[in-house]
Amino acid sequence: MSQPFYLIANWKMHFLESEAKALYGAFVEFAEMDAAVKVWVAAPAVHLPILQQVRSGKVPYGAQNVHFELSGAYTGEISVPMVRDCGGTFSLVGHSERRILFHESEELLGKRAEGALRQGLNIVYCVGETLDQRESHQTMSVLENQFATISELVGSYNNGELLIAYEPVWAIGTGRVASTDEIAEAHLHLKTLAAQAGNPMLPVLYGGSVKPQNIEEIATLDDVDGALVGGASLDSDSFRSLYQKSAAALNR
């Protein structure tokens, strides 16, 4: 393998202080058992100082959203200095729930990504199509439009500083699962776009209802460099199983 396989836990809006500490501690126990797999945690903003109390270099953590300004009158937002002050090393940007529920535009997401990277925070930039877009055969054009938002950044930052997560919206929490062919096609297209932008090794993660039952198939696809995990990251046994199964699949 030329680069690690990333398992990024997205805790969304879950857990109180004691629960967050306990789950993070459980992750630390098995992280780095295999050098091929890296574990990151995207935690609620209020949990960043909590994780700082128990942090381990084995499991970097970060935010689920971040503003592009250093400070200012932006009620409800957090800045890169705030994330870094709490020991955070990265942030998600453009998650489908931010795009759909909070109507975040490509222009805003581009500003978030550029601002964070410029200020030294790593970014996991999320892209993906809705069910209507897939059924209308617009998947590739949607990915192209979303990728264009950050295309100028792709060639300027090293792998691990900027990552892409492909999350088909129609396969998140719906019970509908993307086939390996559908995943492979989208990832190949994103890798091609990354190569055209000057970074053929840009990590592209998959984020559509990843579970212990499907991680082995996903992990062995050529253009999949990791997984952005929602529900299966909320339980230590489930996430440990993801870790072990992906490591086993990669080492075959």
Half-sphere exposure of 220 (CA within 13 A, CB side): 9
At 190, the amino acid letter reads L
N-terminal to C-terminal alpha carbon distance within the chain: 12
Active site residues: 95, 167
For residue 115, give every residue at least 6 positions away whose Cβ sits within 8 Å of its Cβ, in sequence order, or none: 66, 67, 68, 69, 80
In degrees rounded to 5, what are phi and psi of residue 197? -90, 0
Cβ contacts of residue 57 below 8 Å, gap of 6+? none
**Angle value at C-alpha 234, between 231 and 235, nearest 5 degrees:** 115
Q: What is the CA radius of gyration of the chain?
A: 17
Return d(Cα 50, Cα 172) in angstroms, integer. 28
Closest among 171, 172, 184 to 225, alpha carbons compared: 184
User: 154: closest CA among 184, 109, 117?
Assistant: 117
CA atoms of 180 and 19, how far apart (whole Å): 34
